[in-house]
């Protein structure tokens, strides 16, 4: 059976996938609370003939389809939503106050559900074992690792290759691939600065954590500009700062939350070391009565594609979608925990991007140099991938990629 024959039932499946996508969009669930989402996806896997395992890593779902000897191929979709109040104005807008699928994981789940169903219907065209992984908690950077630690690979063995994709604010119908590093690594840190509180009228009796926090924030901005080579890349952001409760009270502590994004492990280590040095140094200079506390809130690995595997997947995408619907992906400063699966399995991996917005506005904004201003991106309360042709493209990409490794790619 050829790829066109395997994909032939997709036309009839699209209405069901759209229904799934709209339903998941209306009912988003936060990280590790994806109970309704997981139950629906598990139900569909069971109807497609998969051996279904639920509750992996809390709310993770694994579908296993064994089809003779051959490679073990893992397809992954993340399923959690974000604490964002939706402002798209869509008819199928989120019904959960303050929760939204602002990153497109509802689309990811529908893609994998459709691909899993098509591959189950075409078992005569391939051999091996297919693992369909619906992963919770990606937004926290720990969902993949949690599933692995909870025995994901004990169930059906380790895959030889892991494939995944992410919807982006690019033109719908297009796929974007990139060799090597494609997405940044992220570290999120919480810093507690301990001062000595007192009355606003007597600052000389205090160690003011507000002044200390301001010094730390200012000094942190010098890491990228003065400690990282111009040929390297890093971002250091203080996204949250809390200090004090009243205008006439000098607080006894301040809390900062810092976000770091890098593409290289050596740069990453250098930035993290600089943050610790600056925070501790400023505390000493301020005369703090207690050392600051620095803890890691979340950590995402650098997403790096296997060069050979990426070249193979890119070639089959060009053949299937046409050169005119493929682009080389830019380096993305956003982060993913997808590569934790491949790292834990010792497998090759390929992660690509799939456009999800109306092409004309996207190309118009790019031509005018206004892409960042005019096109809502992931995590925006206005981000809303269009169902068609985004659903079709994502399903086809997963099927074509899987069949390349399962021997059904003719």
Which three-class secondary structure state does DSSP give residue 171?
strand
Please give the C-alpha separations between residue 14 and each of 130, 153, 171, in angstroms, as whole numbers: 22, 31, 19
Closest to 345 (Cα-Cα) out of 156, 93, 83: 156
The two tokens of residue 306 are 């296997």
The two tokens of residue 254 are 């301040």
Which H or E run contains 78? Answer: strand 72-78
Closest to 184 (Cα-Cα) out of 234, 141, 231: 234
Angle between helices 390-406 and 10-26 (to 10 degrees): 120
Longest dimension (CA), the chain: 82
Q: How many residues does the chain have?
A: 410
Kindly report the backbone phi and psi dihedral angles of residue 13, in degrees, each rounded to the nearest multiple of 5, phi listed first. Answer: -85, -25
Closest to 350 (Cα-Cα) out of 386, 401, 292: 401
Sequence-distant contacts of 367-375: CB under 8 A, at least 24 apart:
375/169
Q: Is 35 annotated as a binding residue?
A: no
Q: Is 139 annotated as a binding residue?
A: yes
Strand blocks (E) in 89-184? 128-135, 161-171, 175-177, 180-183
Distance CA 141, CA 394 (A): 23
Helices (H), 27-95: 35-47
Pairing of strands 175-177, 326-328: parallel
Q: Is 103 annotated as a binding residue?
A: yes
Q: Which residues contact 172 (CB under 8 A, 6 or more apart)?
A: 355, 356, 357, 358, 359, 385, 386, 388, 389, 390, 393
Strand blocks (E) in 202-302? 234-243, 249-250, 253-262, 293-300
HSE of 333, CA atoms in CB hemisphere, 13 A: 9
Q: Annotated binding residues for Mn(2+), as ranges?
A: 103, 105, 139, 166
Q: Annotated binding residues, as ranges?
A: 103, 105, 139, 166
């Amino acid at each position: 059976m050829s790829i066109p024959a395997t994909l032939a039932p997709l036309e009839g499946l699209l209405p069901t996938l759209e229904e799934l996508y709209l339903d998941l969009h209306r009912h988003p669930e936060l990280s590790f609370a994806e109970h309704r989402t997981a139950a629906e996806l598990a139900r569909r896997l069971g109807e497609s003939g998969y051996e279904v395992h639920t509750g992996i890593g809390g709310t993770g779902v694994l579908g296993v389809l064994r089809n003779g000897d051959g490679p073990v191929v893992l397809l992954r979709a993340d399923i959690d939503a974000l604490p964002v109040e939706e402002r798209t104005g869509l008819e199928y807008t989120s019904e959960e106050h303050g929760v939204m699928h602002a990153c497109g994981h509802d689309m990811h789940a529908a893609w994998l559900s459709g691909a899993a169903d098509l591959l189950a219907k075409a078992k005569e065209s391939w051999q091996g074992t297919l693992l369909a992984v619906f992963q919770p908690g990606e937004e926290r950077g720990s969902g993949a690792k949690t599933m692995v630690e909870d025995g994901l690979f004990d169930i059906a063995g380790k895959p030889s290759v892991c494939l995944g994709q992410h919807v982006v604010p690019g033109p719908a119908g297009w796929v974007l691939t990139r060799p090597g590093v494609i997405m940044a690594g992220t570290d999120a840190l919480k810093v507690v600065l301990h001062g000595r509180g007192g009355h606003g009228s007597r600052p000389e009796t205090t160690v003011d954590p507000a002044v200390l926090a301001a010094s730390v924030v200012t000094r942190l901005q010098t890491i990228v500009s003065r400690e990282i080579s111009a040929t390297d890349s890093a971002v250091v952001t203080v996204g949250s700062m809390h200090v004090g409760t009243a205008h006439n009270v000098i607080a006894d502590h301040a809390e900062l939350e810092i976000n770091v994004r890098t593409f290289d492990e050596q740069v990453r280590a250098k930035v993290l070391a600089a943050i610790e040095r600056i925070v501790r140094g400023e505390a000493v200079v301020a005369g703090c009565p207690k050392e600051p506390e620095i803890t890691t809130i979340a950590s995402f690995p650098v997403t790096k594609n296997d060069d050979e595997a990426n070249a193979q997947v890119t070639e089959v995408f060009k053949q299937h979608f046409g050169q005119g619907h493929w682009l080389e992906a830019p380096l993305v400063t956003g982060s993913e925990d997808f590569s934790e699966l491949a790292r834990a399995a010792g497998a090759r991996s390929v992660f690509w991007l799939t456009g999800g917005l109306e092409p004309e506005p996207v190309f118009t904004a790019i031509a005018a140099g206004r892409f960042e201003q005019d096109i809502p991106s992931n995590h925006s309360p206005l981000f809303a991938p269009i169902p068609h042709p985004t659903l079709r493209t994502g399903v086809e990409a997963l099927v074509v990629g899987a069949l390349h490794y399962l021997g059904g790619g003719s």
